[in-house]
Structure 1
């Protein structure tokens, strides 16, 4: 839950949409918002695959990692690489930073935590990531000791499984 502007908002997507709109990161019109939503949904799908890897039993981790790499490099990243090329290579909507750019950057960072060379075939995404990570507020957020949480380690996963009564 987030308390903002006299409201209590729940549900991640509602919170993110509100904050993005409030800070001019959610497009200028309905068409741009639809594109932003489409890009965000794609990154959300890939993030879900990555999150499953954290929860996988040790003997399934290698297969899940292969699945992440395959989906990222064959299905998702080629699409975003093309979008950047088609829209002038700066941001997903051309020259306008949106929350889809921030979400894509977080997805890239998560994927790189699993496989550091995952962007090797995607020069536009590499430049994109560098550009987004250099935005002063994002750069500050990504510094060691910031609020960005590191990927779950085995101890964290074991504790979560115990708390939620999973085996």
Structure 2
């Protein structure tokens, strides 16, 4: 293929992104949005499992709020007010503690399984669980009653010793 043919190639890769990542419209949303605070990674950890990791240094367990509303994972961080007179004198404050809200549109059948904070990282585990009724299944083809009788009669005609 030449460069011009590739440029005019009109292929829809959205089903590929959905099956690889598990999030609808995720690739285009990530490309369209500016850098987010706090920074985060989305990792595929298994066949149907994913992990969102967010750098939340300076935030504690009580400062974070995680909810799922209408298929959207919402992670909010709000540093609890500390006394201005906590006895500390800062020469430089470089650890960001500003409030934030991150939203992630979850694909169908993706559930939040766990959330934990470790070493300044918030890890949210997600699993895609497709209900049994939506999974592909094989349907056995049975022989009709009339066909079974016809074939049974044909066997008896070919084997008269069983009939006697």
TM over 0.5: no
| TM-score, reference length from structure 2 | 0.27
Q: Could you say which structure has the higher strand fraction? A: 2
